[in-house]
Amino acid sequence: MRQRGLRIGIGGITELVWGIRFLCLTLLAPFRFLVFLGHVIWGTPRNIYVKSVRFRDWLLAKVAYLQEESEKWRRIFQILKSPYSILRAMGFSPQMAGTMLFASTAVTSSVVVNEVLEGKSFSAGDSGVYTAPLDVPTEYYDDDNTLRVDLGSTPVGLLQIENVTIGTAYANSALPSGESNAVIVGGLPAVSDPAFTETYLEVGHMTVDRWRCTQMTLANIEAHHLIVKQNASDGQSIAAVAGTPRARAIGGGNRADAMVTSGGYYDQIKITSATSGVNGKVDRLILSNLYTKGGACSLSRIKAGVLEIILNEVGAGDGFATKDFTIATSVIYKSFTNEDNVEVSISPPS
């Protein structure tokens, strides 16, 4: 009887525990639902944001990969289609590079035509005839690698050419037919035609520095302040004459702002006022680091407020008796700075 009563007691207790547990679960059910609902409401935006960030990062990674691959292929095709640029970088003149490539396949020829003729500009250092203030050439000839700037009725605020190689100083180059000067800067002389009137190049401030020339001549120039200093030459004659040139600067209202180019290979550089009776006008003219060979450097028919000739090397290795650096008596100044110009033995440019 005791054992049977004990079993009944344990069963009753078990049923009581399960009953209490069921009651508790029943009472807590609404709270558990609220907790679950809160978790859903709080977690869903975050989950959506996290997934959107993952999708964004995946998409951007794919786009970046495709752009990188596209750029690689673009560079390969540029290399394959640009033999002309490679030859120019090696020092060949445009006509020689074009001749070498035109002599090959028809496909190469068409590539050269597109590369040579498309997008030529002064700022890019392309040869041709430029009429200020245009950056694109008004004329271009395959057999003429001259960089020429024609100045006229439109004043230019800044004209700068620097770091260039001229004349026969690079492979397979030559001066233009009938020319003996590698660099020509200035106006045009009078000719037998009475309809043509000589012209001058009017400059507010002109700087000629770091040129390498076999000969440099200055003639028919008026400068309010002439500065000639620290030039080395294989024979020199400086015979400028005092006078009364006026100070000048170039305004002109709506003038051309700037024409600037750096680097390049040319058979000749010519800056001139090409229109009869119309002087070319530049407020600031900078010609720096010109390496020339095969012809003289000529500056003539210039009217300047300030003319600086500094740190140039001139010589053909022909001794001091031959005056490779010459400032003629036709150069007139109001004030003159003449310092540290020396005669030294200078061999012709290599």
Query: What confidence score (pLDDT) does residue 117 get?
Result: 44
Tell which residue, 182, 147, 181, has the closest CA to residue 167: 182
Q: Say whether the peptide bond before residue 133 is cis (omega within 30 degrees of 0).
A: yes
**pLDDT band at residue 239 using 50, 70 and 90 as cut-offs:** very high
3-class state of residue 220 by DSSP: strand
pTM for this prediction: 0.67
Query: What confidence score (pLDDT) does residue 69 get?
Result: 79
Buried b (16+ CB within 10 A) or exposed e, 122-137: beebbbbbbbbbebeb
225-236: average pLDDT: 96
Alpha helices (H) in the chain, listed in sequence order? 2-81, 83-89, 94-102, 106-117
Q: 8 and 152, same structural domain?
A: no
Q: How far is CA 151 from the centre of its chain?
A: 21
Q: 141 and 60, same structural domain?
A: no
Buried b (16+ CB within 10 A) or exposed e, 188-218: beeeeeeeeeebbbbbbbbbbbbbbbbbbbb
Q: Cα dist. 128→3, 135, 267, 305, 341 in Å? A: 122, 11, 11, 29, 35
Query: What confidence score (pLDDT) does residue 244 get?
Result: 96
Residue type for 341, please? N
Q: Which domain holds residue 87?
A: 82-118
Given 66, 101, 118, which residue is the final one in a domain? Answer: 118
Helices 106-117 and 94-102 cross at an angle (nearest 10°) of 150
181-197: average pLDDT: 83
Mean pLDDT estimate for the chain: 81
Q: What does the pLDDT look like over 17-48, one tens digit per residue?
A: 666 766 676 766 666 666 666 665 665 666 66
Q: What does the pLDDT look like over 123-143, one tens digit per residue?
A: 888 888 998 778 888 888 777
- Which residue shows structure tokens 């496909």? 107
Q: 136 and 62, same structural domain?
A: no
Query: What confidence score (pLDDT) does residue 3 get?
Result: 46
Q: What does the pLDDT look like over 275-303, one tens digit per residue?
A: 778 899 999 999 999 999 999 999 999 99
Query: What confidence score (pLDDT) does residue 114 get?
Result: 44
- Which residue shows structure tokens 């400032």? 327
In a domain, 261, yes or no: yes
**pLDDT band at residue 58 using 50, 70 and 90 as cut-offs:** confident
In a domain, 269, yes or no: yes
In a domain, 136, yes or no: yes
Query: What confidence score (pLDDT) does residue 67 get?
Result: 80
The pair of three-digit structure tokens given for residue 24, joined into one six-digit string: 């508790």
Q: What does the pLDDT look like over 154-180, one tens digit per residue?
A: 899 999 999 999 999 888 788 888 899
Beta carbons of 152 and 251 less than 8 angstroms apart: no
Q: 273 and 183, same structural domain?
A: yes
Q: 64 and 24, same structural domain?
A: yes
Q: 269 and 170, same structural domain?
A: yes
Q: 12 and 141, same structural domain?
A: no
Tell which residue, 327, 333, 301, 338, has the closest CA to residue 224: 333
Given 81, 109, 141, which residue is the final one in a domain? Answer: 81
Q: 136 and 263, same structural domain?
A: yes
Query: Who has greater pLDDT, 247 or 52?
Result: 247
**pLDDT band at residue 148 using 50, 70 and 90 as cut-offs:** very high
- Total of domains in the chain: 3
Query: What confidence score (pLDDT) does residue 108 get?
Result: 39
Q: What angle do CA 242, 248, 250 make, to 5 degrees?
A: 150
Residue type for 37, please? L
How many Cα atoms sit within 13 Å of 172 on the Cβ side? 14
In a domain, 348, yes or no: no
In a domain, 350, yes or no: no
Q: 279 and 171, same structural domain?
A: yes
